[in-house]
Amino acid sequence: MTLSENDLWLLSYYRSSEINGALFFGQVARTLRGGPLQADVTHHFADEANHAKFWTRCIEDLGYSARKLQGSYQDRYLEAVGLPANLMEVMAITQVFEKRVIGQYHRHLRAPDVHPRVRQTIEKIMEDERWHVKYVREALEGMAAKYGQELIEDTLARFTAADEEVYAKTLAEYGERIAFLGDRSPDA
């Protein structure tokens, strides 16, 4: 298969974002005390690293090498909201981000003429992404006694607004690279 420059860029962007996710969750996993959340975050770290590997192999199977890209979607989060101040904020921003990832991968799957190898990679990754949303939601529910449900909801709302801003800026900068995905609205 011949990949367009935009296709190769997008697959490389996915790969780069997964690498950044792995680095982030590796750092978080190192700071957590032992227990179920430490195990889940460590699992999440491993999943993100595997996703980067899956994208690397997908790109190579299609006869290409991944592009080296500067920055990722996560980097823009830090610009918009700063570093999370506590574990609840880490989980909240993770929840918002993982939902964005699932939405983006769903949009990609609905695009015309998705190569079977790309489809296979997305579908494999989506299995993990659904678990990420589930364990993070459960972690946030467990934190309500400590942080208060209202603060958690406010934090989720703040990070959702930041995500929408980041997504809009990303589309403004790179929208032509993903135009083949069709409707580019945040709720697509």
The answer to whether residue 185 is domain-embedded is: no
The total number of structural domains in the chain stands at 1
pLDDT at 140 over 60: yes
Average pLDDT over residues 2-29: 92
Instruction: DSSP for the chain, please give it.
Output: -PPPHHHHHHHHHHHHHHHHHHHHHHHHHHHSPSSHHHHHHHHHHHHHHHHHHHHHHHHHHTT--PPP-S--HHHHHHHHH-S-SSHHHHHHHHHHHHHHHHHHHHHHHHSTT--HHHHHHHHHHHHHHHHHHHHHHHHHHHHHHHH-HHHHHHHHHHHHHHHHHHHHHHHHHHGGGSGGG----TT-
The answer to whether residue 186 is domain-embedded is: no
User: In this structure, what CATH number is given to the domain that contains residue 155?
Assistant: 1.20.1260.10
Average pLDDT over residues 22-32: 95
The answer to whether residue 58 is domain-embedded is: yes
The per-residue pLDDT for range 39-86, each reduced to its tens digit, is 999 999 999 999 999 999 999 999 999 999 877 777 777 778 888 899
Q: pTM for this one? A: 0.90
The answer to whether residue 183 is domain-embedded is: no
Which residue range is the domain that position 164 belongs to?
Answer: 5-176
